[in-house]
Structure 1
Amino acid sequence: MATACGLCAGANYFNQPLLNSIAHALQVSESTAGILVTCAQVSYAIGLLFLVPLGDMLERRKLTVGLMLLAAIGLLVSGFAEWMPSPFTALVLGTLVTGLFSVAAQVLVPMAASLAPRESSGRAVGLVMSGLLTGILLSRTVAGLLSAVGGWSLVYKAGGVAMVLVALALYRVLPKVAHSGARLPYGQVLGSMATLIRTQPRLRTRTLLGGLAFASVSVLFSTMALMLGGPEHGLSDSSIGLIGLSGVAGALMANAAGRLVDKGLERPTTAFSVLLLVVNWALLWYSQHSVFLFIVGMLVIELALQGTHICNQNVIYRLAPEARSRINACYMTGYFIGASAGSAIGAWAWHHGGWTGACIAGTVLALLNVAALLADRRLSHPNAQASGPSAT
């Protein structure tokens, strides 16, 4: 499950270290190529809103496998985009399809929480999320290395084949896990998500925490290749991809964050992660003069993001256990709306202020996240919300 999550999520990040190469190969500007990052995140958010809730309606193994096979089609369209009459349009289409259906990962995360005993659900979510986050980070490295071997499109072709193979493996090993509770019509399932948002204040504040944190980090993700590949450092695609490995250690800490939550340390872990994100942007600003500082900054920013994210997920899954797929859909939709907004803000900030502008934008978003943390702290005890109206 962790491997499948990593592949699904990582597929949306193949383009980030390749933006310069894609721009040159398809004869578009760097800012136009940067649209791919936003397209992937917007389509992923749409999938979260309209597809992930199906996990509370349908048998989850078949749902997961079906979504992954459709995502594989999107990857293959992107991989063969150069052969089509309008290559960049085909690449955008493939990116949108991949993003929409790669939300299979977000069916698997609450499924892991459901399969695990309550006292170890934090570790289960942390383990699966470690796989997901490691996949995101390794995707940049793999994309950069494969680009050096066979051009920017090779990673999409290889990813499409890998997606099919992992989907078939999942079908063989996953247990059948049907929806929990009474079967609801699709329209009612979507409507119940609005009820969850209205009746669960901590779902709102934790979604805001996650969305703002990911928005801040996405400013970095959407501009790092432009800075590292530009005149300041002049790095190649493969070098930029290898630098992405620095964040893997931070992603692996998701499992440790889950263990801290199981020990009742969710509040201090969240606070430390939120404040770490703010402080780290100063380090990232100095990294325009030092690749080493950028590597350290990548590690720290992943620690901050994953600490916040894992704490958020473990809090919201306790709010309404019978509606975990819908709660996850609500949270992750906000999470990736934040990501797409951060990417767009990063592109705008880069256009107007270069790396300094990007760092200012990232810092402002991180400071807004501190305000969201204070709002969450003002709520009653986390478990008090669990007795609210049922989403079903």
Structure 2
Amino acid sequence: MQAASGTTTRHQPESGLSRTTTLIFAIAAGLSVANIYYAQPLLGAIARDFGISLGAIGLVVTLTQVGYALGLVFIVPLGDLLDRRRLIVSQGVLSIIALVAVATARTEWVLFTGLAAMGLLAVVVQVLVAFAATLATPAERGRAVGMVTSGVVIGILAARCVAGLLADVGGWRAVYLTSAVMTAAMVGLLMRVLPHNPLPGSTESYAGTLRSIPILFLRDRVLLVRGLLALLIFATFSTFWTSLVLPLSTVPFNYSHTQIGLFGLVGVAGAAAATGAGRLADHGLGQCMTAVSLALLLLSWGLIAFLPSSIPLLLIGVILLDLTVQAVHVTNQSIILGRYPKARSRLVGGYMVFYSIGSAIGAGAATMAYGHAGWRGVSMLGAAFSATALLTWAGTRHLPIGSETMECVDGL
């Protein structure tokens, strides 16, 4: 059976994915994933508007994350069965509806339903990653995945700052209305540039496709190791960004939420700089890039630990942390997407489940660490996650990570 990556249509250029189209993919991914994170600096305003207690308002964040997790499992794998162009455009249109519903909500029921739907549909970013990997030639796959993934990370980091600024100007509803308008413009652009999918990569049923996801990761040690690395690096990432507000919002800093949000822009510089990781992976340097990045990730916590005595060292640590997390993330995806071309969507969905678990673990553990040992406890926790990731790589570095394309993944 011919691999899907080898099938082309008149809609797909032989030269692969152009830089302009890749950039559009990245912008679309960043806009979509930002919808999940806009709510975090807006919780107080939303609670006051609806008369929701501060203890219950956390449900806003929970619902979007639960929706996102469900989308990873049940929507992203559809990219292996359906025309990805139609799937992406449909998710974009439904996202506009969900955003408008949240922005105009007058009852808690509408608000919560809209937020859950918004999280569910935000997984379009992973469909975009898989589509970019399919359209790109093997020699440029890492570069394409790196650029699109950088758009995702930049969207996450910039969302809090953008939401705070828009809310200061027009209230929290303006954030979601603005996003709805931008999403509508992006859907129109995507309809012009997205090619139709090549022939579907799988003849399996939907249920069979879902069942194959854990089997793929359990049978292929490279996939499993890269999933574990994703869990650990995003536990590290979440440990830092979840707990940063705690010391900065108290003495001696007493920073506002907007000021704290600006730290996310510092992280954007690091995330953007990591796009080159994909190019190195394209040249067979994935293992080397992983090792260097994980070592520098551990080093970053030595700089981050200087808070509150040195903000400059903290900022250098932030850039280094986001740079290395993004570099490993891009390398991971470049490696796994090259192994089973016909199962790219389900591979991305399964891989991102590890990401979600790691993010949840990091967020929960970070607040407990800060409560027991302050910022020193947070730094030790982040360093522990980083060291575990480095040891995991060292113990499995003998595994070959080159493309080992299987001719058929149906019936796994």
TM-score if structure 1 supplies the norm length? 0.89
8 Å CA contact retained: 1:210, 1:309:
yes
Q: Shift of the alpha carbon at 1:205?
A: 0.5
Could you tell me which amino acid in structure 1 is paired with residue 145 of structure 2?
A: V
- 2:97 pairs with one of 73, 98, 115: 73
Identity score, percent: 38
Which deviates the most, 136-145 or 221-230? 221-230
Cross-structure match for 1:57: 81
- Residues 180-226 of structure 1, C-alpha deviation per residue, up to 9 Å, x if partnerless? 33432110111121321222111100001011101111122222233
- Root-mean-square deviation (CA), in Å? 2.6
Could you tell me which amino acid in structure 2 is paired with residue 383 of structure 1?
A: G
CA shift in 2, pair 1:214/1:130, >3 Å: same
Q: Shift of the alpha carbon at 1:146?
A: 1.3
Q: Is 2:341 aligned against 1:326? A: no
SS, match of residue 116 in structure 2:
helix
Q: Shift of the alpha carbon at 1:106?
A: 0.4
Could you tell me which amino acid in structure 2 is paired with residue 56 of structure 1?
A: D
Q: Is 2:407 aligned against 1:382? A: no
Could you tell me which amino acid in structure 1 is paired with residue 409 of structure 2?
A: S
Q: Shift of the alpha carbon at 1:61?
A: 0.8
- 2:292 pairs with one of 268, 272, 293: 272
CA shift in 2, pair 1:224/1:30, >3 Å: farther
Could you tell me which amino acid in structure 2 is paired with residue 68 of structure 1?
A: G
Q: Shift of the alpha carbon at 1:307?
A: 0.7
Q: Shift of the alpha carbon at 1:23?
A: 6.1
- Ranges in structure 1 where 5+ consecutive residues have no aligned partner: none
CA distance in 2, matches of 1:375, 1:330: 23
Larger Rg: 2
Q: Is 2:68 aligned against 1:44? A: yes
Cross-structure match for 1:299: 319
Could you tell me which amino acid in structure 2 is paired with residue 191 of structure 1?
A: R
Q: How many residues align?
A: 387
Correspondences of 1:1-392 after superposition (within 5 Å):
1-19=25-43, 33=57, 36-81=60-105, 83-84=106-107, 86=108, 91-178=111-198, 180-379=200-399, 381-383=400-402, 385-386=404-405, 390-392=409-411
Could you tell me which amino acid in structure 1 is paired with residue 333 of structure 2?
A: Q
Which deviates the most, 276-285 or 97-106? 276-285
CA distance in 2, matches of 1:285, 1:142: 27
8 Å CA contact retained: 1:45, 1:333:
yes
SS, match of residue 129 in structure 2:
helix
8 Å CA contact retained: 2:202, 2:410:
no
CA distance in 1, matches of 2:291, 2:63: 31
CA shift in 2, pair 1:177/1:387, >3 Å: closer
8 Å CA contact retained: 1:44, 1:102:
yes
TM-score if structure 2 supplies the norm length? 0.85
CA distance in 2, matches of 1:327, 1:109: 11
Which deviates the most, 308-317 or 370-379? 370-379
Could you tell me which amino acid in structure 2 is paired with residue 58 of structure 1?
A: L
Which deviates the most, 46-55 or 89-98? 89-98
CA distance in 1, matches of 2:243, 2:48: 17
- Ranges in structure 2 where 5+ consecutive residues have no aligned partner: 1-24
CA shift in 2, pair 1:287/1:39, >3 Å: farther
CA distance in 2, matches of 1:156, 1:333: 26
CA distance in 1, matches of 2:252, 2:88: 43
Q: Shift of the alpha carbon at 1:388?
A: 9.1
- Which structure shows the higher helix fraction? 1
